[in-house]
Chains A and B, each alone.
Chain A
Amino acid sequence: MIDLDEHVDLERGVMSRKVFVDDDIYRLELERIFSRSWLFLAHESQLPKSGSFVSTYMGEDPVIVVRRSDGSIGAVLNSCRHRGMKVCRADVGTTRAFRCSYHGWTYGLDGDLVSVPNMAEGYRNELDMSRWGLLRVPRVESYKGLIFGTWDAEAQPVEEALGDITFLLDTFLDRRPGGTEVIGGVQKWVMGGNWKLAAEQFASDMYHSFLLHASAWQALAPEGADLSEMVFPSVGSQMTSQGSGGGWFHDPTGAGSAVLGPVLAADFTDPAVWERLGEVKAGGPIGCHATVFPNFSFLGAFRVLRVWHPRGPHEMEVWSWTLVDKDQSPEIKDAWRRFASMTFGPTGTFEQDDGEIWTDLQRVSRGHIAQTVDLNYQMGIGHEVTDHPDYPGRINHVYSDNAARGFYERWLELMKTPLRPGQRGNATARAGQEVTR
C-alpha cells in the first residue's frame, strides 16, 4: 500500500505530483473519497415532473436521478442487475420505466424490478424480483435546490455535512426568496488533467486569476478602458472547512463588475439582495470562487456551477451549468446565460486557458524526476485565523494556499480511513456486504 504521507506534507506545505498521476491512488480515491462523500447529482429544476430523469456519475459510477411518482427524488446505479448493462442511455428525459435493452428487464421509477421476460419459462417463476431492483443510492438529500447523494447510508445529513461552506453556498443559492433554477442544457467537455487540479483551484486559487486570465479581463473590460491602469484587487479572504473552501475580494463590485457590464452588475449588486444576505455576505463572499468537497464547484459572480467527474488519473470530464434566480426577469436570466458561455465552458474566454494549463501540467507530472520535485503549497502558511469575527472556518488572505491545504487535509484523512466493514463500496471487506438486496 502506498504511503501517502510520503507524498503529501501539509505541515510544510509541500506535495508530490504523484497524487495526480498514480493509478493506485486514483483507485483508492474512487473507494474512499467518492463512495462515501456527499456528491452533487443535479439541481431540482432539472426534474420538473414525475418521470423526469437525468443521468450523471458518482465518481466513475453512472447513476440515474429520478423524480418518482410521489414527487420525491431518488437515485439508482445505472446498471442492470441481470448482466450489468446500462438501463438508461439518454442524458436527460422523461419516462415511465427503465427497460434494459439487453434482455428487457424493466425497472420502475424507484428502481424496483417490475418485469422480466420469460419469467415463467426461463426462471420457472423462481426469481425473487423484490431482491433484484436497481441498486439505490441510499441517501439523496437536497440543500436549497441542489440534490446530493452518497453511498454511505450512515452519513450525516447533507446540510450538516456541508457545514461551513453553506456560508458561501447561500450567497449563490439564496439571493432572492424564490430560490434558483438552472438554465436548460449543460456544457460537457473533457480536460486532460486530474480532477483535483480543478477542484483545488476553485477552492483556493484566486492567485491565478489575473495572470492566467489576463487576456479575458482585458478583452471584457469596457471599450476604451485604460488597461495599464488596471490594478488587481488585493484585499480579500479565503476560507476552508472540512475540505471545502473558497475565496473572495472584500469589494465585490470592483474588478468583477467591470466585466459584467451595467445590466448584470446591477442584478449582481441589487440592494434587495444585499439586504437579504446581509452586509457580511454581500460585502465579498457573494463574488466567491468555491469548491464543495470533493468535486463540485461554483463561481458567484459568473453564476456558474460544475462538477469535475474523475476519469482516470489523467482526465476529468467537466459538466457546467448556469444558475439563475427564479424570480429574475427572462431578459436578465438570458443575459446571465450568454455571459456564462462567454466566460466559462469550453469556449469561455476565461476557461479556455484553464484547460490549457491543466493538460500541460498533467503531462509534465508523468515525468519520473518531476515526481521527485515537491510542489509548493506554502502561501500564507502559519497565518491562518480560526476565530474570525465574520467568517466561519479557517481564514486566510484571498491570496493563499489555505483552502488547498484544507482540501488535501480532508483528502488525506479520508484516504487513510478504510470504509466501515459492510459499507457499500468497501473493496477490502466485500464479504461483509449484503450483495443481493
Chain B
Amino acid sequence: MNTIPHAAMDPALQLEVEQFLYAEAELLDARGFREWLGLLTEDVRYWMPTRANRSIREYALEVAGPGEMAHYDDDLGSLTTRVRRIESNQAWSEDPPSRTRRFVTNVRIKPDGSELAVRSSLLVYQHRLEREVNVFAAGRQDVLRRTHDGLRIASRKVLLDQTVVLANNISVFF
C-alpha cells in the first residue's frame, strides 16, 4: 500500500495560516475590499488562468500558461483599480451588492524559506438580486510572506473548476 505525503504539521502554524485565510474570507464576504488590498504584498501576482477541455494525451496543457488568456492576471495596481470601480457606486454588477459566503478547506502548508506555499480549496456561494446564483469552486495556490504586519499574500493562483464560466460575470474575488 502506498502512502501519500502528509507530514505532521506544526499545529501552531496550521492554525495560524487557517485563521489568516478565514479572516480573509470573512473580510471579502463583508465587502471589505479596500482592507483586503492591505493583505496583499506590493509585488503581489493575482492570477486566474482560463482552462480548456483537452484530451488525456494533451492534459498537461489544460490550464492556460502565463502568457495566455486569463480571467484575472492582476498586480496590486490593477486590483486597486477593480476595487476603485466597486467603490464608485456605479458598478452595476455589485449594485445592489451580492451576498457571498466563502468556504475555505483542505489547507496544506509547505514552508519555503521566509515564505509559505499554501494550497487551499475555496467554494464561493454568491446570490444577488432575485435569483442570480453562482457557485464557484476553485483550488488556490498561494505564497504567503511574513512581514512585520503579519502574514501577507505575495502570490495567488486560482484554478477555477470551470471551462465555460457558468455565470453572467465574475464580480467576486477568490
Contacts and interface: CB of A to CB of B under 8 A. Distances in A.
Interface stretch (A60-68, A125-133, A182-190, A418-426): A182-190
A338 B164 CA distance: 20
B73 A92 contact: no
B78 interface: yes
Given A218-B84, A337-B67, A342 B92 contact: no
B69 A322 contact: yes
Contacts of A92: 52, 54
B85 A215 contact: yes
Contacts of A187: 50, 69, 71, 165
Contacts of A192: 168
A219 B163 contact: no
B170 interface: yes
A92 B53 CA distance: 7
A185 B168 contact: no
Contacts of B53: 89-91
Given A90-B58, A321-B69, A349 B167 contact: no
Interface in B43-64: 48-50, 52-55, 57-58, 61, 64
Contacts of A190: 164-168
A352 B91 contact: yes
B146 interface: no
Contacts of A294: none
A192 B165 CA distance: 12
Interface string A328-372: 001001100110011001111101110111111000000000000
Nearest to A357: B92
B72 interface: yes
Contacts of B49: 185
A381 interface: no
A297 B170 CA distance: 21
B65 A347 contact: no
Contacts of A95: 55
B168 A338 contact: no
Contact of B69 (A93, A341, A348, A351): A341
A47 to B, nearest CB: 15
Contacts of A89: 53, 55
A347 B71 contact: yes
B76 interface: no
A259 B34 CA distance: 22
B91 A353 contact: yes
B169 interface: yes
Contacts of A218: 84-85, 88, 90
B171 interface: yes
B110 to A, nearest CB: 28
B66 to A, nearest CB: 9
A341 B48 CA distance: 10
A216 interface: yes
Nearest to B160: A346
A66 to B, nearest CB: 14
A79 interface: no
A337 B93 contact: no
Q: How big is the B interface, by class?
A: 35 or more
A352 B54 contact: no
Interface string A167-190: 000000000000000011111111
Q: How big is the A interface, by class?
A: 35 or more
A214 interface: yes
Contacts of A349: 81-82, 85
Query: Which interface residue of A186, A342, A347, A359 has the most chain B CB atoms within 10 A?
Result: A347
Contact of B170 (A212, A317, A346, A357): A346
B67 A189 contact: no
Interface in A35-80: none
B29 to A, nearest CB: 19
A181 to B, nearest CB: 12
B69 A189 contact: no
A183 B68 contact: yes
Query: Which interface residue of A95, A216, A352 has the most chain B CB atoms within 10 A?
Result: A352
Given A191-B168, A356-B92, A356-B168, A341 B132 contact: no
A356 B50 CA distance: 21
Nearest to B86: A215
A128 to B, nearest CB: 30
B70 interface: yes
A94 interface: yes
Contacts of A358: 168
B164 A184 contact: no
B69 A186 contact: yes
B169 A351 contact: yes
Contacts of A184: 64-65, 67-69
A357 to B, nearest CB: 7
Contact of B90 (A214, A337, A360): A214
A359 B134 CA distance: 14
B164 A188 contact: yes
Contact of A93 (B54, B89, B165, B167): B54
Given A218-B88, A346-B167, A352-B171, 10 more contacts: A90-B58, A184-B67, A186-B50, A186-B52, A188-B163, A219-B81, A337-B73, A345-B69, A353-B91, A359-B168
24 contacts: A89-B55, A90-B53, A185-B64, A189-B165, A189-B168, A189-B169, A190-B168, A215-B86, A218-B85, A219-B82, A334-B67, A337-B70, A341-B70, A342-B81, A345-B69, A346-B71, A346-B167, A351-B169, A353-B169, A355-B168, A355-B169, A356-B93, A357-B92, A359-B168
